[in-house]
Amino acid sequence: MAQHYYTVSWDQLHRDSKALAWRLITLRPFTGIVAITRGGLIPAAIVARELECRLIETVSIVTYDEEVRGVPVVTKPPVAAGDGTGFLIIDDLVDTGTTARQVRGLLPRAHFATVYAKPAGKALVDTFITEVSQDTWILFPWDTEAQFIAPLARQG
């Protein structure tokens, strides 16, 4: 279990993904983008829009079951990206680097960018926006929903 939780709203994710595009714009043009599914899909769509990049490929690597990390399994390779030449890899987060190492092995010539980065994995990406502590679990907007919480005075 994580020590800390950090909730990211849809608005914040959009702002942070757009900030990532601002950092990447000087590196364009890119032939295409490879979104790491599922977390990288929405940031990749935002970055693709901002960079006016129409070719979006995906790679699917299953690493987590809830908050438990397992052995990474490539369930869908990024065939259209070749060795990554001219491609931009986008993910929401680099954590321990397990997924990043797998993707780097598949696309060694691509530029790798994430919105958020933890210390154990940040050296594996070329560009990121925000660093968060290793013991923080980011709650992305697709994993949460708003609900009523009783006032503190009512909580024992």
Which candidate in 11, 16, 83, 92 is catalytic?
92
Which candidate in 95, 126, 135, 143 is catalytic?
95
Clarify whether 91 is annotated catalytic. Answer: yes
| Closest by CA position to 97, among listed 57, 128, 140 | 128
Which residues, including other chains, have CB under 8 Å from residue 154's CB and lie 6 or more apart? none
Which residues, including other chains, have CB under 8 Å from residue 123's CB and lie 6 or more apart? 97
Clarify whether 126 is annotated catalytic. Answer: no
Which candidate in 16, 65, 83, 91 is catalytic?
91
* Chain mean position to CA 4: 19
- Residues tagged active-site: 91-92, 95
